[in-house]
Amino acid sequence: MKNSFFTTTRIIMLSFLAVILLGSLLLALPISTKSGQSVPYVDALFTAVTSTCVTGLVTLPTVSTWSVFGQVVILVLIQVGGLGVITVMTGFMLALNRKMGLSDRLLLQDAFNLNTLSGLMRFVKKVIWGTLAVEGAGALLYMTVFIPQYGAVGIWYGVFHSVSAFCNAGIDILSENSLADYALHPLMNFTTSALVILGGLGFVVWWDLLRVLKELPRKGLRTFRFLTLHSKIALTFTAALLLGGTAVFFCLEYGNPATMGGLSLFDKLQTAFFQSMTTRTAGFFTLPQQSLTDASAAVSLVLMFIGGSPVGTAGGVKTVTLAVLIAATVSTVKNKDHTSLFGRRISQDSLRKAVGVCCLSFGVLLVSTVALAAVTTAPFMDILYETASAVGTVGLTRNLTPFLNTAGKLIVIVTMYLGRVGHISLALAFNRKRKNQNIIKEPTEEISVG
């Protein structure tokens, strides 16, 4: 049937939901906990959602609550959630030499938000192998730190944290204060940051960069001009947000004794960079978020809302979305009849989608903040930090998550799910209208704006 309920967008939504429910049932089993006693189902569900939606907010400390079996379940959920359920299923089908039909390819195209079916299966293979290669390299780097400190179990720690960092999940099994014990450890900071940034850049940017780098010896630096517009925007805005955020946090927290006030200049720089990086949906922290100044917390909120880049493991409204909106604003101020970036015109479809993503994301943030404020007496900044972290699938908290009541947990669960599935996808999933239904266009009339 042409009007089948199971559209590609709905399949993506329901597949995430199915994985979450299965994960929650496994985590609710006594074998999943160190104590051998089942945790309340709402906490098992919360953990399954935060893992699959690669957020990182936890109601129960991961290191002391979950057994090895529970940690394996969490790791699988993180990997599936980071790559996407459809991608993982496709990987298994390719491994079994199963052919992909047109409907399967359309589903993949929707999952990766790509504009063409050309080379789709090759792209999926590259995504899977590229992910395994980067996570493997990250695990080896982590092991050089963890094995001398923890022995053989350091191998497991290396694998777990590499997957968690690359998928931008921010869940750790080291302690109850994330990576704060390694705040001044350059190798840990470098490895974590590299994995998070690579995952957040997006797979499309990876292959475009590799394509250009192959031409570097022959054409020199000017070859970077041949990057696609998407890659130029993603790389430029990622660098600007990382460096700009580092400078802002360095200045705002420079003399704060509760964060980096007593550190050396180098340590202040690396902790400021880590804070700038982790607010882009990573979720790990080396500075206590509740000790940040209000100004730093406000900047963190903005960075969490923006997030990473499209077709990657990060959340948020995405860097490219922000770039398009800024470019549209500049064009409006300059009274231009089109929006452009890097000498290329932005399509009206892209502009409309950027506006829609931001408006729907802000709407989810507003509703979830009001709802959470209605069921908890926590300070408003802590509540807003929590909901912004959930919407952007970041995982940073001002120590509110462990103290949420049942209603608060359910609100954050829904917010994390909406943040991961994507607000535009959610709107399209239940929109039964077709483009050809609007054959007769409405008359145009000018209105006053601003």
Angle at 299 between CA 296 and CA 301, to 5 degrees: 110
- Domain borders along the chain are 8-430
Residue 119 is predicted with a pLDDT of 60
pTM of the complete model: 0.87
DSSP for 198-209 reads HHHH-HHHHHHH
What integer pLDDT is reported at residue 117 of this predicted model? Answer: 56
**Which pair of structure tokens corresponds to residue 411?**
């609100």
According to the model, what pLDDT value does residue 425 have?
A: 63
- Model pLDDT, residue 2: 47
Question: What whole-number distance in Å separates Cα of residue 376 and Cα of residue 378?
Answer: 6
Q: What is the mean pLDDT of each run of 10 residues along the chain (450 residues)?
A: 56 82 95 94 95 91 94 94 66 56 57 58 80 93 95 95 92 90 93 92 84 74 78 91 95 93 93 93 90 94 90 82 91 86 85 87 94 94 95 92 95 92 59 52 69
Predicted pLDDT of residue 1: 42
Question: How far is CA 266 from each of CA 250, 262, 270, 279, 285, rounded to the nearest angstrom?
Answer: 11, 12, 6, 20, 18
Q: Which residues pair with 341 in a beta bridge?
A: 344
For residue 102, the model assigns a pLDDT of 56
Q: In this predicted structure, what is the pLDDT of residue 351?
A: 87
In whole angstroms, what is the distance from residue 275 CA to residue 66 CA? 27
Alpha helices by DSSP H, 202-253: 203-214, 216-219, 229-253
Extended strands (E) in 267-401:
340-341, 344-345
Q: Which of 164, 199, 201 is nearest to 179 (CA)?
A: 164
Structure tokens at 315: 């959340």
291-294 long-range contacts, CB within 8 A, separation 24+: 291/256, 291/258, 291/259, 292/253, 292/256, 292/259, 293/252, 293/253, 293/256, 294/381
Which residues face 66 on adjacent strands? 33
Which residues neighbour 284 within 8 Å (Cβ) at sequence distance 6 or greater?
56, 165, 170, 172, 178, 179, 192, 196, 274, 278, 395
